[in-house]
């Protein structure tokens, strides 16, 4: 059972905007710990999408953006593309786990 | 280019051990930690811990059973994950990922371990 909760699935039409929430608590995101986001295309390894809440690594399209507020974080995908259909995971630290990294429960994005 | 190359799939019987390798190339191995992440079939990502490639000190996730062992051979830029006393629910894909130790920016392709009698 992860301490970071994500919706199991979100969907959107081509070109639309979707957001994925990552809900934590005062022991992780709410404690000020950073959030990372990863994209996992079917049958492949995860790929870093967002680091330190809002930073996009080189090569990640600018239609992906991250934000953080309070005990939650969000990943937004604007101008949804077919190739964005994948699983998305948030990640942070948790102080109750003595600084362990924790992943969110994961969200499947479906492009309609 | 920067990459992590993992060893191939393994099929093991319950109670056996397995040792997975993760060979780094394209960067200075000791400048980054190596994290281990597992993913059971149809499930999410689970962080297992990380190893400091400078000191060899491993950090295991809370709740680890003690059956997991992280190790290194810095002479060949390789990290290892050993799993002892394998159980059926250890069947999963195991990934290594480069980090500082956070920001897992480079991932191996994964090693599938199947535990079955």
**Contact between B61 and A97 using a beta-carbon 8 Å cutoff:** yes
DSSP state of A99: T
Q: Which residues pair with B11 in a beta bridge?
A: B114
- Strands A9-12 and A107-111, by their bridges, are parallel
Share of chain B above pLDDT 90, in %: 92
- Strands B111-115 and B10-12, by their bridges, are parallel
Which distant-in-sequence residues (6+ apart) come within 8 Å of B110 by Cβ? A45, B6, B39, B93, B94, B95
Q: Residue B63 has what pLDDT?
A: 77
A103 inside 8 A of chain B by CB: yes
- Strands A18-23 and B68-73, by their bridges, are unpaired
Residues B35 and B22 sit within 8 Å (Cβ to Cβ): no
CA separation for the pair A18, B108 (Å, rounded): 29
Supply angle C-alpha B27, A66, A4, rounded to 5.
Answer: 90
Which residues of chain B are within 8 Å of residue A45 when distances are taken between CB atoms?
95, 107-110
The residue of chain B with its CA nearest to that of A98 is: B62
- Tell me how crowded residue B57 is: count the other CB atoms within 10 A of its CB: 11
Which residues of chain B are within 8 Å of residue A57 when distances are taken between CB atoms?
105
**Contact between A46 and B108 using a beta-carbon 8 Å cutoff:** no
pLDDT in tens, chain A (112 residues): 688 999 999 999 999 999 999 999 999 999 999 999 999 999 999 999 999 999 999 999 999 999 999 999 999 999 999 999 999 999 999 988 777 899 999 999 999 9
Residue to mutate among B5, B48, B103, with most A CBs inside 10 A, is B103
Residues B87 and B14 sit within 8 Å (Cβ to Cβ): yes
pLDDT for B94 beyond 80: yes
**Contact between A51 and B109 using a beta-carbon 8 Å cutoff:** no
């Amino acid at each position: 059972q992860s301490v970071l909760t994500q919706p199991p699935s979100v969907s959107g039409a081509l070109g639309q905007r979707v957001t994925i929430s990552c809900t934590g608590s005062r022991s992780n995101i709410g404690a000020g710990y950073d959030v990372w986001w990863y994209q996992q295309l079917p049958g492949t390894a995860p790929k870093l999408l967002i680091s330190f809440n809002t930073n996009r690594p080189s090569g990640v399209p600018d239609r992906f953006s991250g934000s953080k507020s309070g005990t939650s974080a969000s990943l937004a995908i604007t101008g949804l593309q077919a190739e964005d259909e994948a699983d998305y995971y948030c990640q942070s630290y948790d102080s109750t786990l003595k600084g362990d990294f924790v992943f969110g429960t994961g969200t499947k994005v479906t492009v309609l | 280019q920067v990459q992590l190359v993992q060893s191939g799939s393994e099929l093991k019987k319950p109670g056996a051990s397995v040792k997975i390798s993760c060979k780094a190339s394209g960067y200075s191995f000791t400048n980054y930690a190596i994290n281990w992440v597992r993913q059971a079939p149809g499930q999410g990502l689970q962080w297992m811990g990380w190893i400091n490639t400078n000191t060899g000190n491993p950090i295991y996730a809370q709740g680890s059973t003690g059956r997991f062992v992280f190790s290194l051979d810095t002479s060949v830029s390789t990290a290892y994950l050993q799993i002892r006393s394998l159980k059926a629910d250890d069947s999963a894909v195991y990934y290594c990922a480069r980090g500082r130790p956070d920001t897992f920016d480079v991932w191996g392709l994964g090693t599938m371990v199947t535990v079955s009698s």
